[in-house]
Chains A and B, each alone.
Chain A
Amino acid sequence: MLRRRVIPCLDVADGRVVKGTRFVDLVDEGDPPELAERYAAEGADELVFLDIAAAPERRGTLLDIVERTARRAFIPLTAGGGVRSVDEMRAVLRAGADKVSLNTAAVADPTLVTACAARFGRQAVVVAIDARRRPGPEPSWELVVKGGREPTGRDAVAWAEEAVRLGAGELLVTSIDRDGTGTGFDTALLRAITDRVRVPVIASGGAAGPADLVAAIRDGGADAVLAASIFHRRVHAIADVKAAMAAAGLPVRLVPAAVA
């Protein structure tokens, strides 16, 4: 049976792992490959690197981090942040990533999703969707881009469906309202999307503890859960999160202690 995945997320800026609240107020959290190796040993099912600085002149930094990590941690790696072309995606894959996440560039040019899926297969294309809850009695979410700074006026759930039609093999759905706040995942957002797409959905934004990750899967229908701060700061160990998931009846990959 397919396991539900626990994915530590490493936001990278200028070669270091950072974490902020709602994409600002960044705090240094460590060396990316070192943290990646630690997470692999602790039972992470996969890793996500997001280059949140993403200035084109510093792209080499991400490639270097991806390659050093791929040579140390033998678990799957998704990388993204500022990837805007098939050639850039190819460079990230060749550096050692298994999947590449597209965000702002995919919204600006949806044909990019189709071109990347045609070239590398849809299983390599993750579309990252940042969503902000709209005020009002009916639940609805606006698609935001550029690291949560720029509203688009578009419906995030409709974009999720379109992204899958275009060729996305997986969606990484982040609630901008919850990101870094530790107030739990936006399970209504997740459910709105998982009810409408068949590709796996990775839940992101708001994890405070094991119960939140369980809720994202059970109530939100997510296939995988992503978290950053709670792992970087050792608030919760991956093993504890997985134990809670297993106790809730979710299928998880339990890793024996002390393996790399």
Chain B
Amino acid sequence: MSRRIRIAVVDYGAGNLVSIDEALRSVGAEVTVVTDAAALRDADALVVPGVGAAAPAMARIEAQGLTGPIRTWLGSDRPFLGICLGLQLLLERSDEDDASTLGVLRGHTVRLADAPTLPHIGWNQVERTREHDLFTGIEDRADFYFVHSYAGAPAATDAAVVLAHTEHGGRFVSAVARGPMLGIQFHPERSGTDGLRLLANFVTIARAA
């Protein structure tokens, strides 16, 4: 039997961590909720969850001394999963409050265009643009739970990272991947069976990395 993967979930002071903690445990991971850089040392994989605006999130991550360590982590091609705001933070800036974000991907986080309702809240289909191990065993166009008004829009030069789109009025990017760096706009910890399957796939990817 393979060893348990140790996943660090970054807690920067907002929102619900109970669901992601429990969901990752239920797929066999060992989970540590981390608030500082020291706690990252023993982790095999990093998860940045979160909802809400980019500026206060970046301010708290910075105050906890985590900006540098997260950049280093991403720069060294280690397993990473950004969920919702955690995906948006990978881009250079957020149009929501003009916050400067991590800039690992070129492009901005933009307001959803032509959305009939905003925020975009509820279950919606995730349409893949290419196959990826993150979606193993999950049907194309499966429903996942979204709750957001903005989405990361990778620049054309980084278009190869796009894994999936979702439609709400206009189309937006709902999943990205570059090596073991993964980002999803929806909430797998709130998306029932398919959400748990996706998290189990992330654990498998992290184990292989």
Contacts and interface: CB of A to CB of B under 8 A. Distances in A.
B192 A93 contact: no
Contacts of B18: 67, 70-71, 94-96
The A contact surface, by secondary structure, is loop
A199 interface: yes
B180 interface: no
Interface residues of A, number: 40
Given A1-B124, A223-B122, A122 B192 contact: no
Contacts of A170: 119, 121
Contact of A71 (B22, B52, B120, B145): B22
A93 B123 CA distance: 20
B83 to A, nearest CB: 12
A5 interface: yes
Interface in B84-103: none
B62 interface: no
B16 A96 contact: yes
Contact of B122 (A67, A224, A259): A224
A161 interface: no
A107 interface: no
Interface in B1-40: 14-19, 22-23
A259 B193 contact: yes
Given A74-B19, A97-B16, A224-B122, A121 B52 contact: yes
Contact of A76 (B56, B116, B190): B190
A2 interface: yes
A186 interface: no
B22 A121 contact: no
B45 to A, nearest CB: 19
A259 to B, nearest CB: 5
Interface of B: 14-19, 22-23, 51-53, 56, 116-125, 143, 145, 147-149, 167-168, 187, 189-193, 195-196
Interface of A: 1-5, 40, 45-46, 67, 70-71, 74-77, 90, 93-99, 119-124, 169-170, 198-200, 223-224, 253, 255, 259-260
